[in-house]
Structure 1
Amino acid sequence: MSATLEITTTGWVVTIGLIVGLLALDLILAAIRPHAVGFKEAVTWSIFYVAVAIVFGLVFAAQVGGEYGSQYFAGYIVEKSLSVDNLFVFVIIMTTFAVPEEHQHKVLTFGIITALIMRAIFIVIGAALLQLFTFMFLIFGLLLIFTAIQLFRHRDENPSVEDNGLVKLTRRVLPLTDQYVGGKLFARIDGRRMATPLFVALIAIGSSDLLFALDSIPAVFGVTEEAYIVFVANAFALLGLRALYFLVKGLLDRLVYLSTGLALILAFIGVKLVLHYGHTLSDRVPVIHTNVSLVVILVVLAVTTIASLIKVRRDPAARAHPGSLRAHDEDPDRA
């Protein structure tokens, strides 16, 4: 492992300013012109965000060296691949709450901001724990392996939005209307201030992202121990999520083996963390280099995508599911 990465205060300020600026741009565009995002617009923004992430990575690597550059790109690819599973859940939430297309942009943008804030908190906590307690590598590794096993076991299921604890609490404590009042989160109906379905959808997306963060943060710490790299990898992966949603939401059903691929990636990174912990106890325990991790992740994603397309071609009725970490009594068919 290279010497600890040192990022100056100016570096942090510039990085956070760039991310906040991109988020503000997304939010302003959603607020001033609510509309259904078309394919061409989604492609343009998706290319833009991927290009920004790549340019940042190249500049970052030129400044701090190839080792840290590899860690950034490995972390970004891990987070980007896991974020596709987020998109499945987003589609389910938007469908469940019948969010009008012209308002989906706003819900996604606010949801991404919430997710970024929560993940920043988890990154600070995770980095502190790893510095204080070496055995946290073992804990994180076992957590990822357990998550991978659960995801594989329930790979053909959808998470239940109605079972979401925060959604249940929102329904219990707030007066709700079933009307979408423009793009408002709260509206006055018959003289009474009430939350709209848009607000409940936002709660569902934010709380779902909280659960995803519990898996994605340990996963990205599996390819780098640097909090800065973990943060920027998460941030740039999340920034492109809104555009990616509108780009691929009609194609997600084709990725029938995505959950299996993600389970393999999580299990691999979990094993990598366990080996890393073992290496701190004995030099005889092997470690997995970042470049090896990057190759394995890319190969798994490529094989998963190709196998999914072949499966759908042979069986057009096959449909993908995001997977769940626990079984549900009912699993609605996403026909």
Structure 2
Amino acid sequence: MEFLYADWLGTPAWFWLVFLGLVATLTAFDLGVLHKEDKEMGIGESLKLSAFYIGIALLFGGWIWFERGAELGMQYYTGFFIEKALSIDNVFVISLIFTYFAIPPKYQYRALLWGIMAVIVLRGLMIAGGAALVSQAYWVLYIFAAFLIFTGIKMFFAGDEPMDVAKNPVVRWISTHMRVTPRLHDQHFFVKVTDEKTGKLVTAATPLFLALVVINLADLVFAVDSVPAIFAITTDTFIVYTSNIMAILGLRALYFALAAMVHRFHYLKYALAAVLVFIGSKIFVADFVMGGDKFPPVLSLGVTAGLIAAGIFYSLWKTRGEPEPEWPAEDSPAMVQKHIDDLADNKAG
């Protein structure tokens, strides 16, 4: 029993056990009950499952509010809303990745699940490292804050240049150092194939594995924005990690609804840019204008939620009636073959 109340990263161990148990239960229920078989998820099912995950996340925040106080509760909700809004950009990038590798929708959900499992670990490592830095040197927060302001300004003036998956150095490295099959093999990331030279069975990666790797690399890039953003709100490691993960857990469910209408959120990036500038600026305001007093959590939550809501509603209003952009057929074997051939040409070159 003493172990349960032992301090672990500033929070009693039993809080961490409850959270990790919740994550494990949701993942097992999702994969083992809801999606035992690979199938395409419709928009209606996606929205219902997303509402379920958001509801669980909000209830978890209510539990934090009740157990640890209103201030930490509001900090959790602020971090959750920021990460949830930033994940919409993730959806656009993930959609490009799946389209590039021609991954059929029925295999996308399982790939997203394994991707999120990796994110839980990678985000944990990044957050642990950030917490260690902040605990040893408070001035690191000023670096985070300046970075957020710079990123927000850059995001505001940046164009809409899409990510070029073909030029990703990791994709090229894998294609030149590993065997990659020219076809998908159902939901498998690796398969046994016959080596043309030796006639022996060897292990080869599939396009689904390449897509999974690129998705996780893209998340690391997004984490460079989202992790400093939540540290600018609170340095409580438990709040930082749980708000991030609870927002990401529902991403795979929300993906199928948002991917069909991601073009409708064109103006959300401007709201997100304003949020990053606001979150970064309040660190300097609190320390140098307010004399070291904490920036009111309720004001921080209100401004963040207001900016994100304004960005969403303005985007939906501004883009009403716009046709959905046409994408290449996701299940086209010829498309997969073209990309594998391109990678092989890069290897030969």
What range describes the TM-score normalised by the shorter chain of this pair?
A: 0.7 to 0.9
For 2:33 and 2:213, locate their aligned partners in 1 and report how far apart those are by CA, in whole Å: 21
Does the CA-based 8 Å contact 2:232-2:279 persist in structure 1? yes
Q: Is residue 231 of structure 1 aligned with residue 235 of structure 2?
A: no
Report what 2:209 is aligned to.
199
Cα gap change, 1:273/1:164 in structure 2, threshold over 3 Å: closer, same or farther? farther
Q: Is residue 261 of structure 1 aligned with residue 271 of structure 2?
A: yes
Q: Which residues in structure 2 correspond to 1:298-309 (within 5 Å)? A: 298-309=305-316
Report what 1:78 is aligned to.
82
Among candidates 107, 114, 117, match of residue 111 of structure 2: 107
Shift in Å, 1:243: 0.4
Does the CA-based 8 Å contact 1:155-1:259 persist in structure 2? no
For 2:223 and 2:28, locate their aligned partners in 1 and report how far apart those are by CA, in whole Å: 22
Does the CA-based 8 Å contact 2:78-2:305 persist in structure 1? no
Does the CA-based 8 Å contact 1:311-1:318 persist in structure 2? no
In the alignment, residue 276 of structure 2 is paired with which amino acid? Answer: L
For 2:191 and 2:299, locate their aligned partners in 1 and report how far apart those are by CA, in whole Å: 53
Report what 1:323 is aligned to.
none
Among candidates 121, 128, 132, match of residue 125 of structure 2: 121
Among candidates 301, 308, 317, match of residue 294 of structure 1: 301
For 1:163 and 1:277, locate their aligned partners in 2 and report how far apart those are by CA, in whole Å: 43
Shift in Å, 1:39: 2.1
Q: How many residues align?
A: 311
Which structure 1 segments of 5+ residues have no match?
320-335
For 1:27 and 1:167, locate their aligned partners in 2 and report how far apart those are by CA, in whole Å: 28
SS in 2 for 1:184: coil
Does the CA-based 8 Å contact 2:145-2:281 persist in structure 1? yes
Which structure 2 segments of 5+ residues have no match?
1-8, 195-200, 326-349
Q: TM-score, normalised by structure 2?
A: 0.83
- Cα deviations by residue, 1:274-329 (Å, 9 ceiling, x for unpaired): 334546xxx54775322111111112112212221232137x3697xxxxxxxxxx
In the alignment, residue 264 of structure 1 is paired with which amino acid? Answer: A
Report what 1:22 is aligned to.
26
- Cα deviations by residue, 1:131-151 (Å, 9 ceiling, x for unpaired): 110110111011112222222
Cα gap change, 1:25/1:165 in structure 2, threshold over 3 Å: closer, same or farther? farther
Q: Is residue 176 of structure 1 aligned with residue 183 of structure 2?
A: no
For 1:287 and 1:163, locate their aligned partners in 2 and report how far apart those are by CA, in whole Å: 45
- Cα deviations by residue, 1:20-52 (Å, 9 ceiling, x for unpaired): 222233333587310001123212211111111
Larger Rg: 2
Cα gap change, 1:30/1:157 in structure 2, threshold over 3 Å: closer, same or farther? farther
- Cα deviations by residue, 1:72-99 (Å, 9 ceiling, x for unpaired): 1111111111111111111111111110
For 2:285 and 2:159, locate their aligned partners in 1 and report how far apart those are by CA, in whole Å: 26
- Cα deviations by residue, 1:129-182 (Å, 9 ceiling, x for unpaired): 111101101110111122222222324222222233322221221111120011
User: Superposition RMSD on alpha carbons, in Å?
Assistant: 2.1
SS in 2 for 1:157: coil
Report what 2:149 is aligned to.
145
- Cα deviations by residue, 1:242-297 (Å, 9 ceiling, x for unpaired): 00001221111011101111111111111123334546xxx547753221111111
Percent identity (aligned): 35
Does the CA-based 8 Å contact 2:95-2:259 persist in structure 1? yes
> Larger deviation: 49-58 or 283-292?
283-292
